[in-house]
Amino acid sequence: MLTRRHIRVKVMQCIYALIQSKDDSLQKQEKFLTVSIENTYTLYLLWLSLFNEIHQKAAEQLNLSSKKYLTDTTDNQFPNKSKFVNNRLLVQIQENPLVKEELSNRKLDNWYLNEEYIRLIYKAIVDSDMYKEYMAKPRHRL
């Protein structure tokens, strides 16, 4: 998802680099712009893959909490414990064949190297007030 603003910023960066450099190669700047826009798209795909990983972490935590013999007081806090895992947006991103194909084509499956970040982000989400409000509501709006 590349907006006009992103493109304008990238073009301005190219113009600035062209003015600052002594080399007046327009082809070099065009190549830089193309690579920069491609990297922006790759960053967008990485964000989508991050949502996939957070969704998987939430499903994993739900599975682990369902196997507990003793429950915590925090476990009984929410009426529907699987609400976040069943979130339509997260499920749609997870199951989208185009996203899966693009991630595999670009080999953007390196979050396993940074599992600590996934855990920290998931913990920050779960600890946030917005998450608690979302989970406390019995139903989500359409």
Place of tokens 């499920």: 91
At residue 34, does pLDDT exceed 90?
no
Distances (CA, A) of 37 to 3, 73, 99: 11, 48, 18
Residue of 33, 37, 38, 41 whose CA lies nearest to 13: 33
Tell me what pLDDT residue 91 has. Answer: 92
Please name the residue ranges forming H helices in 67-114.
88-95, 97-105
* Range 110-119 average pLDDT: 84
Q: How far apart are CA 19 and CA 60, in angstroms?
A: 52
Tell me what pLDDT residue 3 has. Answer: 76
Q: What residue spans define the domains of the chain?
A: 4-136
At residue 84, does pLDDT exceed 60?
yes
Q: How far apart are CA 29 and CA 16, in angstroms?
A: 10
Share of the chain above pLDDT 90, in %: 23
At residue 142, does pLDDT exceed 80?
no
Q: How far apart are CA 114 and CA 107, in angstroms?
A: 15
Highest mean pLDDT among 13-22, 34-43, 83-92, 132-141: 83-92
Question: Cβ distance 122 to 77 under 8 Å?
Answer: no
Structure tokens at 35: 């690579």
